[in-house]
Chains A and B, each alone.
Chain A
């Protein structure tokens, strides 16, 4: 059985979703099934990770059709680490959903769709075929659209329309790119493409196709100038859903970008230049956007965009050190962004509003919670020794040694502006005197919560903060993992050998 472990992360969530559909009428049972499913997901992800770590890249040929004729599922260190993190975020979200989701939402199959989304994410991470990647992206988009609209408040529909239009457009662009790749090479297997593409004479065409892919993934990951759907939609659904989206959805775009631009179209000078400029502007506009917002979930949405720039920038430098930095930043960002949106959800319950103006006095009233909330915020800024600091070491070093001063300045700018924004949030929510205002009547404030409800809101944050702290104080583990990922990504023959079942003499 263990030789098929690669496929298990998908199957676990598929079976969980089916069980959830079967217990459609019984929202109470659904909560437990979902939590158990996520825990099993973490265990399976961990097993797969240890297998990949000891035995090298794993692959499964679906339907026993040998590559390049069938679809290959490939689990390399990059993919499995992301799967483990995805499942951790999924556990946190399924715990908070037990209370954050009113039962009318559960009745419309919230949990089942949620697990379909996690299944889509796992599939996108481990697929080794371009068209299959597109299909997993569709699974992700359709599930996320349902999650955005479920509940059906007007503001949600408005956000969902923007979200869906732009994402469908990017899917069409992505599909066009796939068609062109197939027309030029006659194959969609990523490993095979990595061998065919460099031998094509018409490199100008290859270059154009690679940019089409960049636009397709760029919309999904929210880079400048294609990001505007993100802050328009991410603050609309309940905190649990936004946390999931913030942590994972944009990162899938970045994952696909890193995968495609290391394996299939290794970056040339012009592409590096384009990515670098895009990364710089993404940082700039994301940061400026966050600075002027007055709603806490919107601020966090713009911060997502701002920090996407770190990953795109790391990729654009295209050295092993820079890729290590980008990948490490991605791991840190997944956890911290999910935590921030969960914190936003708790603040909404405490103050009855998400506007900064209505907040204040968190430090006096909830000192322990404030301490808990402070950790991810400072981690986001990158205060040593918290998790944001470590990837920046690699990124700054890479951009400095490469002599890319523009990018270095933008990185520093991003860190500073994040500091300013976090200071602003700190001022208005933690230390400012609370604003005296009427309490909303039909609204359940945090102070009136029962113990179980409080636990459902706080436990996921504790789990995620725990992961952040682990990352902070045992950063060398993530450094080692990321260095190995950097090696695997930059030397594509390991991937190729795993897909085509060629025995390797030297293991990583």
Chain B
């Protein structure tokens, strides 16, 4: 699609949307949001960019194949689930929390890493699907 307006705005929107997706991801523990929604928003950012500037431009920004985000995300989520078994000897998926508050992030714990894993998996799957379809058309 060759539209000057879309071209220009997509370049500005990409970092903004990715930033917003990270915000949604971090907000997700007590408020609406989380890894899944955040991942979708991030994927939309890249898809919009791909619509405006073509697939190759987006691939240049991403550098790696989006499919690789799937195992990475799964690995992060799995490790955060296994972590309590290794560190404190509690069952799988028990929440581990760092006691002090961290500025901006608030409390962090293993749940955040689990959500981050979900985030990467969602981005990876959405982009893989969309990229594969638009490549084959």
Binding site for B on A (CB under 8 A): 1, 3-4, 7, 11, 14-15, 17-19, 21-22, 24, 60-64
Contacts and interface: CB of A to CB of B under 8 A. Distances in A.
B70 to A, nearest CB: 6
A34 B67 CA distance: 20
Interface residues of B, number: 18
Contacts of B129: none
B91 A63 contact: yes
24 contacts: A4-B85, A7-B85, A7-B91, A7-B92, A11-B78, A11-B82, A14-B74, A14-B78, A15-B78, A18-B75, A19-B71, A21-B74, A22-B68, A22-B71, A22-B72, A22-B75, A24-B71, A62-B93, A63-B91, A63-B92, A63-B93, A63-B95, A64-B84, A64-B91
A433 B90 CA distance: 65
Contact of B78 (A4, A18, A22, A24): A18
Given A11-B82, A63-B95, A18 B71 contact: yes
Given A11-B82, A21-B70, A4 B75 contact: no
B7 interface: no
Nearest to A7: B92
Contacts of B58: none
Interface in B43-86: 67-68, 70-72, 74-75, 78, 82, 84-85
Contacts of A60: 91-92
Nearest to B67: A24
Most chain A beta carbons < 10 A, residue from B70, B84, B93: B93
A17 B73 CA distance: 13
Lowest 9 A-B CB distances belong to which pairs? Answer: A21-B71, A64-B94, A63-B93, A22-B71, A18-B74, A60-B91, A7-B92, A18-B71, A18-B75
A4 B74 contact: no
A62 B85 CA distance: 11
B91 A4 contact: yes
Contacts of A18: 71, 74-75, 78
B41 to A, nearest CB: 24
A62 B95 CA distance: 10
Interface majority SS on B: helix, strand, loop or mixed?
helix
B136 to A, nearest CB: 13
A1 to B, nearest CB: 7
Given A14-B78, A18-B74, A22-B71, A63 B85 contact: no
A48 to B, nearest CB: 14
A4 B84 CA distance: 11
Given A14-B74, A21-B71, 8 more contacts: A3-B89, A4-B92, A7-B85, A61-B91, A62-B93, A63-B93, A64-B90, A64-B94
Contacts of A64: 84, 90-91, 94
A189 to B, nearest CB: 16
Given A60-B91, A62-B91, A63-B94, A1 B85 contact: yes
A452 to B, nearest CB: 29
Nearest to B92: A7
B110 to A, nearest CB: 10
Query: Interface centre among B91, B94, B95, by most A CB within 10 Å?
Result: B91
Contact of B92 (A19, A24, A62): A62
Contacts of A11: 78, 82, 92
A3 B93 CA distance: 15
B129 to A, nearest CB: 14
A15 B71 CA distance: 10
Nearest to B81: A11
A60 B93 CA distance: 11
Contacts of B84: 64
A109 to B, nearest CB: 9
Contacts of B78: 11, 14-15, 18
A18 B71 CA distance: 5
Contacts of B95: 63
Nearest to B71: A21
Contacts of B89: 1, 3
Contacts of B71: 18-19, 21-22, 24
A30 to B, nearest CB: 12
Contacts of A24: 67-68, 71
A14 B79 CA distance: 11
A501 to B, nearest CB: 12
